[in-house]
């Protein structure tokens, strides 16, 4: 029995070692394929929104306008608002990147990505969604979107990346989240007042475009440079 147990542990150790190489391989592939896409903007949002939804049209419009002024668009590569953003980028004729993830219920890459990457590991995907971005636009979404926006805010709060614009689109949707941050999280001392200033709320497409373009022209810095500190 001891021999069998030792064999199992040894095999598990080998599997973990190979898993590390697979992770490194995914990162190398991502860095290689996304090199040179800057300046780029990452757009997050729900995978469940249908094309007839107003938020779909807004997302498509924002991505198209950003593309028209020269920004590539990066999304999670799936359906819903990710699809809308990739569709807008494609219409503008800029690079439309979809960083897709393998899931138990398979997420099929949307047809509007001109460059699609598919990964097994969520954290590799999340690194790439941040690494090349000059700004982050957070459309309405669920748990995945909340995870992404809080991760971006944490990276900025802890000075792991530069304080790029983090734009919450649709004030009505995000009102409850912002109120919770103020009345519970801030009130209990879990965050600082300055942390709230990392967020900007917009309701109009041109507000978003102006915020991203103004910051980019002022800073003249890309996502990759910020992460190489």
Domains of the chain: 2-227 (3.40.50.450)
d(CA 131, CA 40): 10
Handedness of CA 24, 71, 204, 90 (dihedral sign): negative
Show the tokens assigned to 98: 């979809």
Is residue 73 helix, strand or coil?
strand
Show the tokens assigned to 196: 């709230």
What end-to-end distance do the CA atoms of the chain give, in Å? 51
Average pLDDT along the chain: 88
DSSP string, 85-153: HHHHHHHHTS-EEEEEE--SS--PPPTT-SEEEEES-HHHHHHHHHHTEEEEEE-S--HHHHHHHHHHH
Show the tokens assigned to 28: 């190398």
Q: For the whole model, what pTM was predicted?
A: 0.86
pLDDT in tens, 44-101: 999 999 999 999 999 999 999 999 999 999 999 999 999 999 999 999 999 999 999 8
pLDDT in tens, 104-137: 765 788 999 999 998 888 888 899 999 999 999 9
What pLDDT is stored for residue 227 in this prediction? 38
DSSP string, 38-70: -SEEEEE--SS--TTSHHHHHHHHHHHHHHHTT
What pLDDT is stored for residue 80 in this prediction? 96
d(CA 146, CA 150): 6
Per residue, the 3-state secondary structure of 8-35, as one string, reads HHHHHHHHHHHHHHHHHHHHHHHHHHHC
Rg of the chain over all Cα atoms, to the nearest angstrom: 19
C-alpha to C-alpha distances, 222 to 38, 106, 110, 218, nearest whole angstrom: 7, 32, 26, 12
């Amino acid at each position: 029995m001891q021999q069998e147990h030792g064999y199992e542990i040894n095999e598990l150790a080998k599997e973990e070692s190979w898993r590390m190489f697979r992770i490194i391989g995914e990162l190398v592939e991502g860095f290689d394929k996304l090199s040179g896409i800057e300046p780029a903007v990452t757009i997050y949002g729900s995978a469940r929104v249908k094309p007839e939804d107003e938020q779909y049209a807004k997302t498509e419009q924002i991505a198209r306008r950003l593309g028209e002024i020269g920004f590539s668009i990066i999304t999670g590569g799936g359906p819903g608002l990710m699809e809308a953003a990739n569709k807008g980028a494609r219409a503008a004729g800029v690079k439309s990147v979809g960083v897709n993830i393998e899931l138990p219920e398979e997420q099929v890459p949307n047809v509007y990505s001109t460059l699609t990457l598919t990964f097994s590991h969520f954290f590799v995907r999340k690194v790439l969604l941040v690494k090349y971005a000059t700004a982050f636009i957070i459309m309405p979404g669920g748990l995945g979107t909340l995870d992404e926006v809080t991760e971006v805010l944490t990276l900025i709060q802890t000075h792991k990346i530069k304080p790029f614009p983090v734009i919450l689109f649709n004030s009505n949707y995000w009102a409850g989240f912002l109120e919770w941050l103020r009345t519970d999280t801030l009130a209990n001392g879990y965050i600082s007042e300055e942390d709230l200033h990392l967020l900007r709320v917009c309701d109009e497409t041109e507000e978003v475009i102006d915020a991203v373009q103004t910051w980019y022209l002022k800073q003249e810095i890309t996502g990759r440079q910020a992460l190489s500190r």
